[in-house]
Structure 1
C-alpha cells in the first residue's frame, strides 16, 4: 500500500486516506493528468486494487474501467487493457452487471457503460461475445441503444454493435430479428443516405456484418422487402461534380451490400431471387444509370461495374436488360460497347479494365443468346462499317500492341465460346483483313501466325 500512498499522496489531516478516497484520487489522476507517467502510475495503482474495484459502487467502477480502456492509445497500456479484460471476464457476472447498467437512462451511467463494453469487445471479442450471448436479454439490451434519443449514445451504440456482431453468426441472427434492418435503414435515410456523414458509414458497416456469409439474415433481408428500400441510395442525380470523400465511402459500402446479396458464393436459389427482386424494384436500372453517368469517381465506377456484373450473372432477364442499355451519347451506343472500349484502352486504370472483363464474363455466363450476339458482330454479313461493334473492339484488342488488351480480349472471346459448340463453329468463319492488297485470313489463322512467331522473338 505504500506505493499507492506515494501515488495519491497523504490525507490533508495526516491520516491514511480511506479506500474510497484512494480510488477517487486515482480516478481523478487517470482522467485529468497531462503527463503519461502520472496516468500510468495511477493505472498501475488501480490494478493493484482490482479486488476492491469489483466491489465498489457501480459509477466509480465504470469510471476507472473506462479510464483504463482509454489508455489503449499507448502500447504498454494496450497490454494492460488486455490483462484487465482477462481478469474482468473471469467473473461473467461483471458483464451481466454492465449490461444491467446499460438499462439506466442516466447519461453519466449509460454512455460510459457503452464505451467500456465496446473497449472490452475490442480487447477480447470472442469471450465477451460468449458471455453476452448466454446472458438473459443481453443482445436485446444493446439493441435498445439504437432507439436512444441522444445521438452520442445512439452513435456509440452503433460502434458497440459493430464489435459485438463480428464473426458471430448466432449474435448476428439475434440482432437481425431484433428489428436491426428496419432501424438501420431508417437512420441511413435520416442522416442523408449517400450524402450523409460518418453515422451512415457506421450503419452500413454494421449491415455488412449482419449479412455477409449469413444466409439466414440474407433471406430475412430479402423477405422483409429491404432490397427495395436500397434503391433510393443510388439516386445520385445528374450533378456528380461534388463527390466528397465521405460520399465515395458511403456509396462504396452500399454497392458492397448489393454484392453481398447476389454473391456467386451464395446458394443459387438465394442469388436468383435477389437478382429478380433487384430488377423488379428498379435497382438494376438505377445502377446502370450510374454506370453510364459522367463525372463518377473511378473507384465508384469500378465497383458499380462489379456490382452490375453480379446482379446480371446467370439471370436471363437481367442479362437481356443489360444488353438493351445504351449510353447517353450521340449516336447512342450499347453499354457493352462503351465498356469494351474502356477495357481495350491502355490509358484506363488496370482495376477498371479488369472490372469490365468481369462484367463481360457475367453477361455471357449461361447466356447462349448473348454469346451468339457477340460472335455475330465478328461475321462479315453483320458488320456495320459506320459503327463500332463489340466484335471490332475484341479483334482490335486481340492484336493490339498492349499486352493487357491482348489478354482481356482473348479471355472475353473465350467466354463468348464457352459451352457453346454453335458459336465455336461460327468463329471459324470470321475473316480478317490484315493489310491492303492481301486477301483476308481467318481469325484462327491469324492467331496461329502470331503464335508461330513467338519462339523467334524470345
Structure 2
C-alpha cells in the first residue's frame, strides 16, 4: 500500500582487494583456512558449511570491533559487518549485539560509527523477500534487540541527532523494529519522556529523504494503537501531513504515505475525527481533492482533464476518498457521522463528488467506484444531503437533463459496466432511500399511470427499476427487486399505492398489475435462476407485510398459492430427510 525505502549499502559481498590496504584486518581475515575463505566469498560447497564459514568471518570482525584501539581498524570492521549483514543476518545480528549496543550508548559523538551500527542492525531485520508476510528471523532478532536494557532510549537519542546518516538510519531501524514487534516498540516509546514528540519532530526535517523516512516510520508507529493516534493528533500531525501533501506533485508516492497516516489516525477513532473537524481540516481535504482532480491551475471555467491518469495519481485520489469516507462511515458514532455529513455539504465536497459522478474527467473505474461509495455514506440518513444529491443532474441535449438517480440506475442496470461499479451504485441507491420517506414516495409516484414510466425519451427511476426486475440477467433482476423492496420498507401506504401500477408489456395484450407481473415472473422461473427467485421473494415479503389488499390480490391467483405450498412442502420434505440422516 505504501513504499518503503531501502538502505543503501557499500557492498553486498567481500572482496580480497577491499581489505588488502589494511594490514591488521587483512591478517585477521587470512588467518582463516584459505579454502573456507574462498567458499564463503565465492560460493561452492554445502550451504551449511558456507554458513559456518560466514559465522567465523563475522566472529572475527566482531572481535576486532570490540578489541581494536585504532579508530580506522574499528571503522573498517564495522563496514565489513555491514556488508555481511544481508547475507549472514543471524550471525551479524547476534554475535555483534553487545558491540552495537556499546557503541550506541558510549560512542554517540562518532557519527560514522553510529551510522554503520544503525545501518547494520536495520539490515539484519530486513528480509530479502519484500513480499513475505512473515519473517521469523527478523521477529527473533527484533525481540532480542528490544529486550536489551537501554536499547530504545539509545535509538531515540540517535533519532534526536541532526547528523544526516545517524538520523536517517535510526529512523529506518525504528521502522523495521515496529514492523516486527509493533506493540512492544510502541510501549517502549511511550515510556520514554518526550519520546513520541521527538519522533513527530522529524517530520519537520527540511531534508526530504529523512522526512520521507519519518513518514513511513509514523505509519508503523500509529498502527492499531488509539492512544498513540490521539497523541499524534494533538501534536498537530494532521497539519504537518497536509502541508507536505500540498507541496508535493500530484503523482508523488510521498502523498500516498501521508494520506495513509491520516487514514490510520482517523479510522474508528472518534476523538481524532472530532479534532479533525474542529480544526477545519475537512475544507483543506476539499481543496486537495480539487487539485488532484483538475490540477494546480484549476479555475471554475477550466476544462476538465480527460486524459488518462498516472497510476500513482489514481492511488492518491483513492486514499483521499477513503479518508473522506472514514469521516462519514456508518461504523462511527451517529453524532460524528452526522456532523461530518454536514461539513461535507457546507464545504461543497459533496457537490464536488457529485460532479465527478456526472462528468468525464478521465477517472478510472476504481476512482468512480470509490467516489460512489463515499457519496453513498455522505447522504445515508441525512435528508439534506439526500435531497441535494437527488437534485443534481447532467445535461442531456438542449432542453433536457437526467438526474443523478437516473444516471446511477442506468449504470446499475447496464451489463457492460464492471460488477464492482454496479454494486457501488446499488449501495448508493439504498443509502438514498435509507430513512427517506419523501424520496421513496417520489420514486413510487414515477410508477403511477400519470407519469408514463416507460417513456423512451425520458426514463424515470421507476421505469428503470421495473426494467431491471424484468431482466433476464439474474444480478440485474436481483438489484431491481431489492431496490424496490427498500422503497417499500417500513412505509405501508406505499405498498397500497404500488397496487395501482399497471404495465403494458405487449401492445396487443391487455395491461396487468405490477403484482401480477412479479408473481408471474416468480412462477415461471421455477427452480431456475435462484438469485432472481430470491429477489422476487424478498420483494413480495416486504410488499405483502401489513398490506391486506396486497395479500388479497396475491391469494386470488391459484397459481401463486400452489407455487408457495409446493415449495414449502419440498422444504419440509428435505428438512425431514436431513433429520433422519442425523438420527
Distance 1:349-1:46 versus aligned 2 partners, 3 A rule: closer
Q: Mapping of 1:116-265 within 5 angstroms?
A: 116-192=173-249, 195-235=250-290, 236-237=293-294, 238-265=304-331
**Corresponding position of 2:357:** 291
Alignment check: 8 A CA contact 1:433 1:441 kept:
yes
Match among 433, 440, 444 for residue 371 of structure 1 = 440
Q: Cα offset for 1:20?
A: 4.9
SS of equivalent to 1:327: strand
Q: Offset of 1:254 from its aligned partner?
A: 0.6
Rounded to whole Å, the distance in 2 between the matches of 1:142 and 1:421 is 59
Q: Distance in 1 between matches of 2:123 and 2:241?
A: 28
Partners of 1:159 and 1:20 in 2: CA distance:
37
Aligned equivalents of 1:430 and 1:18: distance in 2?
89
Residue 73 of structure 1 corresponds to 127
TM-score normalized by the length of structure 1: 0.92
The residue correspondences of 1:77-88 to structure 2 (distance < 5 A) are 78-88=135-145
- Cα RMSD after superposing both structures: 2.5
**Structure 1 residue ranges without an equivalent (≥5):** none
- Deviation of residue 439 (structure 1)? 1.3
Match 1:302 to one of 365, 369, 379: 369
Contact 1:30 1:43 in 2 (8 A): no
Quick one: distance in 2 between partners of 1:9 and 1:94?
A: 22
Equivalent-residue separation in structure 1 for 2:167 and 2:65 (angstroms): 28
- Following the alignment from structure 1 to structure 2, what is the Cα–Cα distance between the partners of residues 271 and 429? 38
Alignment check: 8 A CA contact 1:62 1:116 kept: no
Kept in 1, the 8 Å contact 2:381–2:431? The answer is yes
Is residue 68–residue 81 contact of structure 1 (8 Å, CA) maintained in 2? no
Q: In structure 2, how many angstroms separate the alpha carbons of the residues matched to 1:342 and 1:46?
A: 57
Q: How does 1:100-111 map to 2 (within 5 A)?
A: 100-111=157-168
2:520 pairs with 424, 428, 449, which one? 449
Indicate conservation of the 8 Å contact 1:292/1:328, yes or no: no
State whether structure 2 residue 27 is matched by structure 1 residue 27. no
Question: 1:306, 1:358 within 8 Å by CA — same for their partners in 2?
Answer: yes
Find 2:392's aligned residue among 325, 328, 341.
325
| 1:405-434 Cα deviation digits (max 9, x unpaired) | 100011111111111112111111111112
Task: Note the C-alpha offset of 1:455.
Answer: 2.8
Alignment correspondent of 1:63: 116
CA deviation string 1:244-278 (max 9, x = no partner): 10111000001100110000111111111110011
Query: Could you say if the C-alpha distance between residues 28 and 358 of structure 1 is closer, same or farther in structure 2, counting changes exceeding 3 Å?
Result: same
Any idea what the Cα deviations from partners look like across 1:426-453, whole Å, max 9, x if unmatched? 1111111121222111111111112122
Q: 1:403 to 1:112 in 2, by over 3 A?
A: same
Mind listing any 5+ residue stretches in structure 2 that lack a counterpart? Answer: 1-27, 33-52, 295-303, 530-583
Contact 2:182 2:220 in 1 (8 A): yes
How many equivalent residue pairs?
448
For residues 18-68 of structure 1, give each alpha carbon's deviation from its aligned partner in whole angstroms, at most 9, with x where no partner exists: 6254764443224346xxxx8534861552232233222245355234324
Q: Give, in whole Å, the separation in 1 of the partners of 2:495 and 2:406.
A: 22
SS of 1:73's equivalent in the other structure is coil
Preserved contact between residue 64 and residue 74 of structure 2 (Cα < 8 Å): no
Match of 1:344 in 2: 413
Once residues 43 and 357 of structure 1 are traced to their aligned partners in structure 2, the CA distance between those partners, rounded to angstroms, is 53
From the superposition, tell whether residues 190 and 118 of structure 1 become closer, same or farther in structure 2 (CA, over 3 Å): same
Shift of 1:229: 1.0
CA contact (8 A) 1:211 1:260 kept: yes
Q: Which secondary structure does the structure 2 equivalent of 1:149 belong to?
A: coil
The CA distance in 2 between the partners of 1:185 and 1:10, in whole Å, is 49
2:91 to 44, 63, 67: 44
Aligned residue in 2 for 1:272: 338
